[in-house]
Amino acid sequence: MSQLKAALFDLDGVVFDTEPQYTIFWGQQCREFHPEHPGLENEIKGQTLVQIYEQHFSGSLAAQQPVITQRLNEFEQQMSFDYVDGFTDFIASLRRHNIKTAVVTSSNRPKMQSVYRRRPEFCSLFDAILTSEDFERSKPDPDCYQKAALRFEAQPGECIVFEDSFNGLRSGRAAGMAVVGLSTTNPADAIAPLADIVIPDYYSLGRLGDSLRQTGTFAALLGQLQRLLEVAR
């Protein structure tokens, strides 16, 4: 029986409730440069900036990449980084129980500098932070989560992924890990086929099972997450 060793978190929509802000930004860019493709801003969620450029802003639009990058840098400097409800309590409990924690994000290091400035405590919440520069292939490829597991010398069956985007959920699935979907970005029924469970926030983890509702202990929650590992195998 596998034991839970590592909890791996996407960033936007999973740690921070920032996806609505990015939807606004990319909606503006996509309407300007791709008016023929309504809803493109939703399709690119979970992709790196390089991947977005290669797939949607190359060729005749390549000259616009520096313009968009400048706009994005200015936008991110003004963003608010509010934690998803219950996240800080949840991750503190994981760490008290010696569960390794990592951020596995398609964001790049310049974007993360904005995070660190706004949230000086951020790095202390995690044992590792992996950004787009740390893996060769973007979500939905499993490369990023496989590399995160290697950081902790953990097997896929010892890891749980927390994701919100379709690409991210598919990445966790492809890595052979248990997947918790957060309905912060997409409707719960839309992401349910790609997740072992779906939650709106981390407080709702306390309502996952009868045993947890009765005991209210984090040990019971660990037991529930442990069962997810077995289901996902």
pLDDT tens, residue by residue, 148-197: 999 999 999 889 999 999 999 999 999 999 899 999 988 999 999 999 88
Name the E strands within the chain: 6-9, 100-104, 128-130, 159-163, 178-182, 197-199
Largest Cα span, the chain: 60
Q: Does residue 200 have a cis bond before it (omega within 30 degrees)?
A: no
0.75 exceeded by pTM: yes
The DSSP bridge partners found for residue 233 are none
Give the pLDDT score at 216: 41
Classify residue 207 as exposed, middle or buried by CB count within 10 Å of its CB (0-12, 13-18, 19+): exposed
Q: Is the pLDDT of residue 1 over 50?
A: no
Confidence of residue 112 (pLDDT cuts 50, 70, 90): very high
Q: How far is CA 130 from CA 9, 93, 106, 157, 160, in A?
A: 10, 21, 8, 20, 16
The Cβ of residue 69 has, within 10 Å, a number of other Cβ atoms equal to 13
Report the alpha-carbon distance of residue 193 to residue 73 in Å, rounded. 34
Q: How far is CA 170 from the centre of its chain?
A: 12
Name the residue among 128, 182, 169 with its Cα closest to residue 150: 128
Q: Which residue has the tokens 């997740």?
A: 195
Report the alpha-carbon distance of residue 116 to residue 138 in Å, rounded. 23
Mean pLDDT, the chain, rounded, equals: 87
